[in-house]
Structure 1
Amino acid sequence: MKSPSKRSLIVLFIIISIICILFFAAIGRFNAPLANSIVVNVLAPFQSVTSAVSSKCNDFRNYVYDVFYVYDQNRELKAQNDDLKLKVARTAELEAENANLRQLLNYKKANLQFDLLPANVIGRDSATWSSHIIINRGTDDGVQKNMTVITPDGLVGNIHEAYASYSEVELITDPRSAVGSIVQRADSRVAGIVKGSADSNSAINMTNIPQNANIVEGDTIITSGFGGIYPKGIPIGSVAAIKNDSGGLLQYATLYPCVDFQKLENVAVIINHREVAQPAATPAPTAPAQANAQTPAQPTTGDTK
């Protein structure tokens, strides 16, 4: 059982509560300043506590609302940011691809002797990572074995194997490749063979150069057209250094390739090539006839009898 003191407190609390209910219900109906003053003074502590608690509850509710609102906003902004990053990446990729295609188109316009088929690099042979690539063009597109593969920068290699929808390209960096080459400089025209180096995955050398050959560092090396695979005049690289071979009878030149084989993305296959018609020679102007040149006398005829 509850003690008498506790019961008294409960009864007192109930009475005060009833008085408060009656007071607030009677506001506006009765005007009793003295009673109002007494009740206000009695209930002031309770009202202050209630107001404080209510204020704290409102603050806490607003805080929770702000937290959830900020969380939702942050999640939405993060999603928008990720979407924008993806769009920027796609735009940059499209711009890079368009730049490569424009470069290839300009090369095609400047080299009308070639019928070019654009292709994308879709992989590399895992067994020969540095010397073979896979492109997305095959026999269904007219690609055949031994066709030349280039970029606007220069020679890439040739079709090693052609399948229906893709082909394997042997790069000129493969030590087993052999490209007939020649020095582009008019007063040199030294011929040789360009091969990949077994010592480096990206180096190429021009071999079979005589000791007294007219070749110097910086010379541009192009395809010679010998051998029947590679058309003549495609840039291969520039001479980096000239060294003696192991036998000492010949020398070879290490080359800087025109093509960056580690960054191959877009290439072109030469489906057909033809000789470029040379402009007809303009005949030399003839010397004008002298104004005072004498014309031969014509014989006169007389009447016969």
Structure 2
Amino acid sequence: MKDVFRSTGFKLLVALIFVMFCLMLATSNTPNSLTANLFGSVATPMQRISTIVTNNAAAVTGSGKTKEQLEAENEQLRAEVDALRKKLVNYYTYQQENSQLRKFLELKNENPDFKPITAAVVGRDPNNLFGEFTIDQGTRSGVSLNDPVVTDAGVVGWVSAVSNSYSRVTTFLSPSTQISAMDKVTRETGVIGCDIKSADANILKLRYLSSDTKVAAGDIVVTSGIGGVYPRNLVIGTVKSVKRSDVDVSLYAEVEPAVNVKEVRDVLVITSFAGQGEAMKAANSSASSSLPASSGGK
């Protein structure tokens, strides 16, 4: 340690400090000197930083509030944010419900015999080729198996499974869906169906057209009401082209759906309409008439 104090470098450092000290004293009364300017250029930024830090500290501590008071204010602000978020959710809910009610009233006014209820799509499998989805209405709201599902634009599908609060909707893209349909222009009838290939292309087929059919591109296809599964005159889609069947001599029409079932968000379930279930009633009546007469009873 003693060697350090005796070294030439240490002695030069002490001498340099002494010289600088003398210069500071000599230029203390001459602020425009080079030394004063040099010290000022170094000291000024440091003074600015010190001032900023001091002011910011004063802004925090100068409020006179304790840590507990600040925490209470933060908690109150969080509660206000949560309340505003809930109001925003309610706003969007009311907006959706109003839109659904408008569709409900339009459909009801055009079809007085309908008893529709509004429903929202709450579940969807993106990998499902046929666009099946789940809605937030079930038996508690009056939904039953096989009830038709529509929008204000046209047919969507039918209720294929139902629980107390939810229902599963099978769309017209499913091969299990068959809809009695009619060309609104020519009044020719057929059956709307689909297969995997056409479902992938989002195209329906109006099958069993006669060889001399007048169905043409641009015609509107609607439900015929035959069988009592769907009400009459619900829009299904628009004819794109007419082609010959690969399995028989009949023709079929390719139909572009009026509703994109893979993107629909709100629907209407028609729980009752004039002529509903006629096919089932006829089948039950036929089965009953074929039974042998009872040999006894009350």
Pairwise TM-score range, normalised by the shorter structure: 0.5 to 0.7
Structure 1 residues 210 and 58: alpha-carbon distance in aligned structure 2, compared to 1, 3 A threshold: same
TM-score, normalised by the number of residues in structure 1: 0.63
**Does the 8 Å CA contact 2:100/2:118 hold for their aligned counterparts?**
no
Match of 1:164 in 2: 164
Query: Secondary structure of 2:226's partner?
Result: coil
Q: Deviations over 1:12-58 (max 9, x none)?
A: 96xx89xx7xxxxxxxxxxxxxxxx9983699676555434322322
Query: Secondary structure of 2:158's partner?
Result: strand
Q: Which has the larger radius of gyration?
A: 1
CA distance in 1, matches of 2:145, 2:91: 34
**Does the 8 Å CA contact 2:181/2:224 hold for their aligned counterparts?**
yes
Match of 1:230 in 2: 230
Unaligned runs of 5+ in 2: 56-80, 276-298
CA distance in 1, matches of 2:27, 2:126: 96
Structure 1 residues 130 and 38: alpha-carbon distance in aligned structure 2, compared to 1, 3 A threshold: closer
Match of 1:272 in 2: 272
CA distance in 1, matches of 2:152, 2:135: 17
Partner letter of residue 198 of structure 2? S
CA distance in 2, matches of 1:43, 1:180: 102
Structure 1 residues 103 and 245: alpha-carbon distance in aligned structure 2, compared to 1, 3 A threshold: same
Q: Deviations over 1:221-242 (max 9, x none)?
A: 1111111211111111121111
**Does the 8 Å CA contact 1:197/1:203 hold for their aligned counterparts?**
no
CA distance in 2, matches of 1:209, 1:6: 113
Match of 1:58 in 2: 47
Query: Secondary structure of 1:140's partner?
Result: helix
Match of 1:136 in 2: 136
Partner letter of residue 196 of structure 1? C
Partner letter of residue 196 of structure 2? A
CA distance in 2, matches of 1:42, 1:208: 106
Match of 1:189 in 2: 187
Give how far 1:149 is off.
0.4
Match of 1:303 in 2: none
1:177 and 2:177 correspond: yes
CA distance in 2, matches of 1:191, 1:38: 110
CA distance in 1, matches of 2:238, 2:205: 10
User: Could you tell me which of 190, 196, 199 is aligned with 1:198?
Assistant: 196
Unaligned runs of 5+ in 1: 21-36, 67-82, 276-305
Q: Deviations over 1:141-188 (max 9, x none)?
A: 111001010000001111111111111111111112111111222xx3
**Does the 8 Å CA contact 1:221/1:239 hold for their aligned counterparts?**
yes
Match of 1:77 in 2: none
RMSD of equivalent CA atoms: 4.2
Structure 1 residues 57 and 128: alpha-carbon distance in aligned structure 2, compared to 1, 3 A threshold: closer
Match of 1:262 in 2: 262
CA distance in 2, matches of 1:38, 1:47: 7
**Does the 8 Å CA contact 2:104/2:117 hold for their aligned counterparts?**
no
**Does the 8 Å CA contact 1:125/1:134 hold for their aligned counterparts?**
no
Query: Secondary structure of 2:196's partner?
Result: coil
Structure 1 residues 49 and 221: alpha-carbon distance in aligned structure 2, compared to 1, 3 A threshold: closer
Q: Deviations over 1:46-104 (max 9, x none)?
A: 655543432232245468899xxxxxxxxxxxxxxxx9xx99x9899679845565344
Give how far 1:129 is off.
4.0
TM-score, normalised by the number of residues in structure 2: 0.64
CA distance in 1, matches of 2:31, 2:221: 107
Structure 1 residues 118 and 249: alpha-carbon distance in aligned structure 2, compared to 1, 3 A threshold: same
